[in-house]
């Protein structure tokens, strides 16, 4: 009875902590937005980033400040939560440096891996089991730490790559947090749930500012996308490794289904073309939808609906299909179907754009050369000799145009 009463007493306190996280994030946005230009934390328009004017890259810093203040006021976190918040501070700082100076991919990956290793060493939390699959308990043993490093770095960069239009990364984070709460229910891992709620509440002011509802627009930045992916990844791992949390390792995939499917399909497509998996292009699902004619807001709504649907399907399967192996097989089929659909759509759009560029190419040829290459009306006219043919050289290849078809003040190529 005392335990229940203590929880009841703590409920108003948690609400206050969440409100503090929200207010701190909102105040930080107002303050940081004023000094963003001074510190160089602004996003400039470019071929990859097609927006209007200089946009402050302070969303991630504001979210981190909100989470930190809320966590300090809560004051009941264990070593695990304290370690991931501490290393998240390092990642947020590195992300801000990347926003300012454009750090190398190897440097970012090294810092991310070092942060994961630090948490494993301090808390002892890592992926030690994949659960019971097809009648066998899959224990990773010594493979646990390396698999954990790969999984966390993968989800961190998945959210970074999905941060391509206004509100997308933040909205997908909220969907994932809601999905985790739906899977976990009344879990005993109270502190991990509180951390996720603080993250959600601190993200709300950013979403309003990013969508232009709260003053001038701001962007999440690499600091924010890395922070969101990092906190989500660690919380999912922690909950999936504790039986009483009701979240199996297979269920984790359904909570972050859209970022996982999109990132894996894009990376596989890039590597199949001999490119780096981190080389930016316009092959993500939000680029495909916008090139198909949807606007940024319509694309955002569609992708949120897809993410919610994936989580709902996962929760339904968890209740009706007791076999984790069957649920894993279903997710793999979904992932392959997603990859085939997006790859086919992207190839068709690339082919259409290439054909359009070829049709527009003769317009760049000088008038005199274009007249020389025009077919003669009189068939008796002598053919062009070799010397003249050398003068009629092929026009230089035109650089490919921006591929977005909708208003792209909100679009980033990742």
| Range 99-128 average pLDDT | 94
pLDDT of 208 above 90: yes
**Tokens at residue 242, please?**
């504790």
**Cα separation, 279 vs 276, whole angstroms:** 5
| Range 111-121 average pLDDT | 97
- Do 296 and 211 contact (CB within 8 A), yes or no? no
Confidence of residue 191 (pLDDT cuts 50, 70, 90): confident
| Range 105-126 average pLDDT | 95
| DSSP line for 58-91 | -HHHHHHHHHHHHHHHH----HHHHHHHHHHHHH
Tokens 């009875």 belong to residue: 1
Cβ neighbours of 28 (radius 10 Å): 22
Q: Give the phi and the psi of residue 228 in degrees, each rounded to 5.
A: -65, -50
**Tokens at residue 130, please?**
């994949």
Annotated binding-site residues read 160, 222
CA distances from 353 to 346, 348, 357, 391 (A): 10, 9, 6, 29
Confidence of residue 187 (pLDDT cuts 50, 70, 90): low
Q: Which residues, in sequence order, are CB contacts of 201 under 8 Å at separation 6+? A: 18, 19, 21, 22, 25, 66, 70
Q: pLDDT tens digit string along 271-310? A: 999 898 988 888 899 999 999 999 999 999 999 999 999 9
Q: pLDDT tens digit string along 139-175? A: 999 999 999 999 999 999 999 999 989 999 999 999 9
Q: pLDDT tens digit string along 221-237? A: 999 999 999 999 999 99
What is the share, in percent, of the chain residues with pLDDT greater than 70?
A: 83
Q: What is the pLDDT of residue 239?
A: 92
**Cα separation, 34 vs 42, whole angstroms:** 11
CA 330 to chain centre: 23
Q: pLDDT tens digit string along 300-340? A: 999 999 999 999 999 999 999 989 999 999 999 999 999 99
Please, what's the b/e burial string for 73-106 (b: 16 or more CB within 10 A of its CB; e: otherwise)? bbeebeebbebbbebbeebbebbbbbbbeeeeee
Task: Share the mean pLDDT of the chain.
Answer: 85
- Do 346 and 288 contact (CB within 8 A), yes or no? yes
**Cα separation, 45 vs 64, whole angstroms:** 26
Annotated binding-site residues for Mg(2+) read 160, 222
DSSP 8-state symbol, 164: T
DSSP 8-state symbol, 363: G
Length of the chain: 414
**Cα separation, 343 vs 353, whole angstroms:** 15
Q: What is the pLDDT of residue 373?
A: 47
Cβ neighbours of 362 (radius 10 Å): 12
Of 63, 78, 55, nearest in space to 26 by CA = 63
DSSP 8-state symbol, 282: S
């Amino acid at each position: 009875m005392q335990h229940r009463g203590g929880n009841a007493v703590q409920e108003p306190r948690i609400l206050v902590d969440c409100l503090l996280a929200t207010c701190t994030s909102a105040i930080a946005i107002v303050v940081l937005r004023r000094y963003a230009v001074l510190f160089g934390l602004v996003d400039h328009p470019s071929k990859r980033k097609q927006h209007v004017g200089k946009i402050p890259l302070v969303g991630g810093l504001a979210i981190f400040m909100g989470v930190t203040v809320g966590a300090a006021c809560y004051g009941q976190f264990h070593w695990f939560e304290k370690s991931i918040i501490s290393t998240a501070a390092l990642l947020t700082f590195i992300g801000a440096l990347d926003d300012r100076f454009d750090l190398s991919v190897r440097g970012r990956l090294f810092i991310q891996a070092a942060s994961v290793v630090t948490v494993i060493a301090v808390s002892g939390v890592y992926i030690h089991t994949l659960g019971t699959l097809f009648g066998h308990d899959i224990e990773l043993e010594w493979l646990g730490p390396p698999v954990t490093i790969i999984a966390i770095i993968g989800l961190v960069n998945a959210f970074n790559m999905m941060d391509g239009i206004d509100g997308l990364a933040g909205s997908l984070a909220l969907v994932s947090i809601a999905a985790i709460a739906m899977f976990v229910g009344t879990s005993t891992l109270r502190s991990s749930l509180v951390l996720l709620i603080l993250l959600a509440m601190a993200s709300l002011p950013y979403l309003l500012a990013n969508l232009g509802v709260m003053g001038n627009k701001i962007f999440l930045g690499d600091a924010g996308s890395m922070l969101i992916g990092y906190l989500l990844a660690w919380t999912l791992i922690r909950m999936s490794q504790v039986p009483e949390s009701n979240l199996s390792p297979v269920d984790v995939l359904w909570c972050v289904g859209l970022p996982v499917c999109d990132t894996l399909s894009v990376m596989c497509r890039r590597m199949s073309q001999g490119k780096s998996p981190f080389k930016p292009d316009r092959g993500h699902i939000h680029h495909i939808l916008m090139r198909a004619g949807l606007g940024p807001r319509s694309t955002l709504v569609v992708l949120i609906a897809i993410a919610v649907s994936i989580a709902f399907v996962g929760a339904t399967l968890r209740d009706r299909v007791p076999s984790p192996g069957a649920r894993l097989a279903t997710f793999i089929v979904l992932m392959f179907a997603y990859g085939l659909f997006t790859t086919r759509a992207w190839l068709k759009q690339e082919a259409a754009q290439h054909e359009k560029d070829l049709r527009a190419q003769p317009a760049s040829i000088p008038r005199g050369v274009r007249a020389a290459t025009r077919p003669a009306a009189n068939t008796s006219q002598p053919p062009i000799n070799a010397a003249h043919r050398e003068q009629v050289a092929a026009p230089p290849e035109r650089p490919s145009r921006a591929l977005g078809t909708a208003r792209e003040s909100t679009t980033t190529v990742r």
